[in-house]
Structure 1
Amino acid sequence: MIKRKLTGILALGAAASLALVGCSSDGGSANGDGGDKGTITLGFLPSWTDGLSTAYLLENQLEKLGYDVEMEELTEAAVLYTGLANGDIDVYPSAWSEKTHATYMEQYGDQLEDLGAYYDNAVLTIAVPEYMDDVNSIEDLVGQADRFDGEIIGIEPSAGLTEQTETVMMPEYGLDGDYSLVTSSTATMLATLQEKIDNEEDVVVTLWRPFWANDAFPVKDLEDPKGAMGEPEALHFLATGGFSEQYPEAAELIESIQLDDAAYGSLEALVTGDEYEGDPEGAVEAWLAEHPDAFPGLIAD
């Protein structure tokens, strides 16, 4: 199951584009009819599956309200925030805007509109395989760089997780002299993690919660006694400035969405899992059938 799910995420990452022009795809109406209230563009990174899952949930609900929805797949948070500020993207459906993406909010916040938080317990983590019995805290990495080839395996260079790890956590624990943070993409990080686990080798990676990989791989979060990875934060729906004035009905629906751990976990599991592989729209419909009362204003049919 791990390899099948990872293959799907790798494919999504390969399909995504850095450009804002020429890479959007019309998701088609969930009820088979085109919308007549305007077109709303959702921007997300497919490899960050919180945004992937909520993007398809919003696509479903907005189309049922009568909007056309375009799905814009990107590979860097910097490009996404720029597009959101410029109005090329209407909604980012899972922004870590309170802490992890604070740098982007300082730069673009006055051009954006916060439509509220849908999940309130997101955290950044440093993780190792469960079989590493003697490594249970970030402090245990000190003096152990040779075991990891001096590398912490990270994700995209523009990710807030990357910044937090490199500029706060590593200096705080004195790891910046012996370790380097290797950045590339979420898919590459997961492929490296898979390979190391298959060979039962030592590896340390940057992760976060909620994220399906925490359950799919035998990994454990390292304790962070210094709090260097930050406190839990909420995940927000961010819109381009003036969105609620242009699309008041859409804004009202989006603002009503709040998911608990069970509802969110079920949504992500269905969208990224094997049962609906290649059919995220079908996954969302299945989730709606299972959670008809997940949030006020949910449109089931």
Structure 2
Amino acid sequence: MRNRAFNFIAIVLVGSIISGCNADGNEENSNEQADETITFGMTPWTSTVPPTEIAMLILEDMGYETEVTEADAGAVYTGMSNGDIDVFMDSWLPNQENYLDEYSETIEQVTVSYEDADSGMVVPEYMEDINDVGDIAGNEELFDNQMYSIEEGDPATNSVDMMIEEYDLDIEQVNSSEGAMLAEATRHIENEEPVLFYGWEPHTMFNLLDAKILTNEETPEVFSGSTVLVVAHHELEANTPEAHDMLSNWSIPIEDIEEMIVQIENEDRDAEEVAREWIDNNQDRVDEMMGE
């Protein structure tokens, strides 16, 4: 059983332990391994949904109970640092390295989920003369001096500001939700107009929009490719060792994540249904995660 807490400001979680009585009246847990509910943090990013849903289903199959708390990245890391959240499946480095540094005493890096996830400034493919961020210099008016981006405060937006400063671009970053950003990008691309926005892989935007991530020759240390980690509260291993072992063996190809995002976001399929289908079709990989 899982519960979903819709709270983007404060994270308040109540753990529950399911117990019963045997014929002799002795109390026993539904799963002796799982002595507490495992709570997952889920950010508004589409890339977070498939791995979170799959991990919860696997753990539920193992006998654990799961909960999910939806919040922005900062609140997820804060909740994980104080133990209100146990696991986050979508920690992006280097963009979120500051959180891991800040909470290094209470958050551990469990494993790498996937590597070489690209991100950065994005323009339509039909803008053939704009291929590197440096090509924007002197052409800012093409974009009405604006770049559409995700919610303010996300570490990626700091990298965007750094890029704008490093290239001395006359560009204002316009922050909003992922959905609002993509709505603006889609509107411009459908009209074959110039548009500049933030993008990352895995994401359906590259399946649906004729768009490209710009190279970054002058400052390659910014948006140089991301490594995505599974991270957890440092007591997860002690409290639920079998769950920690499974997550330590976590492995899903980035292409599978992207395909599931398409199914959930664009084919309007239920996220849990899509996750269960992936598990059924990849039982060998699931068995490896479970050490079988």
TM-score (norm: length of structure 1): 0.82
Instruction: Determine which of 196, 211, 236 is the counterpart of 1:243.
Output: 236
Distance, in Å, in 1 between the alignment partners of 2:203 and 2:68 is 21
Larger Rg: 2
Contact 1:42 1:69 in 2 (8 A): yes
* CA root-mean-square deviation: 2.4
Q: Tell whether the 8 Å contact from 2:132 to 2:216 is kept in structure 1 after alignment.
A: yes
In structure 2, what is the Cα distance between the partners aligned to 1:231 and 1:164? 11
User: Which residue is 2:255 aligned to?
Assistant: 262
Worse overlay, 64-73 or 15-24: 15-24
- Deviation, structure 1 residue 296: 4.5
Correspondences of 1:94-243 after superposition (within 5 Å): 94-96=90-92, 98-167=93-162, 169-175=163-169, 178-226=170-218, 227-243=220-236
Cα displacement (A) at 1:137: 1.5
Question: How big is the shift at 1:133?
Answer: 2.1
8 Å CA contact retained: 1:266, 1:287: no
Note if 1:91 corresponds to 2:87: yes
The yes-or-no answer on 1:71 pairing with 2:62 is no
Q: CA offsets, 1:271-291, max 9 Å, x none?
A: 434162xx1111011112332
Cα offsets for 1:200-246 (capped at 9, x unmatched): 22110011112221222111111211215332232111111211111
Q: Distance in 2 between matches of 1:70 and 1:186?
A: 24
1:297 aligns with 2:291: no
Aligned equivalents of 1:228, 1:126: Cα separation in 2 = 14
3-state SS in 2 of match to 1:110: coil
CA distance in 2, matches of 1:212, 1:139: 26
* 8 A contact 2:94–2:227 mirrored in 1: no
Q: Where in structure 2 are there 5+ consecutive unaligned residues?
A: 17-28
Q: Distance in 2 between matches of 1:249 and 1:216?
A: 39
Distance 1:122 1:145 in 2: 27
| TM superposition score normalised by structure 2 | 0.85
In the TM superposition, what is the alpha-carbon distance from 1:90 to its structure 2 partner? 0.9
Compute the displacement of 1:249 (Å): 0.5
Q: 1:42 aligns with which of 32, 40, 43?
A: 40
Residues 113, 242 of structure 1: 8 Å contact kept: no
Q: C-alpha separation between the residues in 1 aligned to 2:10 and 2:85?
A: 9
SS of aligned partner of 1:293 = helix
Letter in 1 for 2:64: Y
Inter-partner Cα distance in structure 2 for 1:166 and 1:90:
31
Q: Does 1:286 align with 2:280?
A: no
- Look up the equivalent residue of 1:19 and give its one-letter code: I
In structure 1, runs of 5+ residues without a counterpart are 1-14, 27-33
- Does the CA contact (< 8 Å) of 1:35 and 1:63 recur in 2? no
Q: State the AA in 2 paired with 1:260.
A: P
1-side partners of 2:225 and 2:141: how far apart? 31
Letter in 1 for 2:87: V
| Equivalence for 1:52 | 49
Q: 2: CA distance between counterparts of 1:39 and 1:235?
A: 24
> Residues of 1 paired with 2:129 and 2:13: CA distance?
46
Cα–Cα, structure 1 residues 207 and 51, in superposed 2: closer, same or farther, change >3 Å?
same
Match for residue 18 of structure 1 among 8, 12, 15: 8
- Matching residue within 76, 80, 90 for 1:80: 76
Aligned partner of residue 109 in structure 1, secondary structure: coil
Tell me the CA shift for residue 21 of structure 1: 4.0
Structure 1 CA distance for aligned equivalents of residues 148 and 175 of structure 2: 7
Counterpart-to-counterpart distance in 2, 1:106 and 1:100: 12
- CA change 1:222–1:21 in 2 (3 A) is closer
Q: Give, in whole Å, the separation in 2 of the partners of 1:251 and 1:259.
A: 16
Amino acid across the alignment from 1:127: V
The 1:265/1:295 distance shift into structure 2, 3 A limit, reads farther
Pair 154,247 (structure 1): closer, same or farther in 2 beyond 3 Å: same
Find 2:59's aligned residue among 48, 57, 62.
62
- SS of aligned partner of 2:90: strand
Q: Percent identity?
A: 27
For the residues of structure 1 that align with 2:260 and 2:285, how far apart are their CA atoms? 11
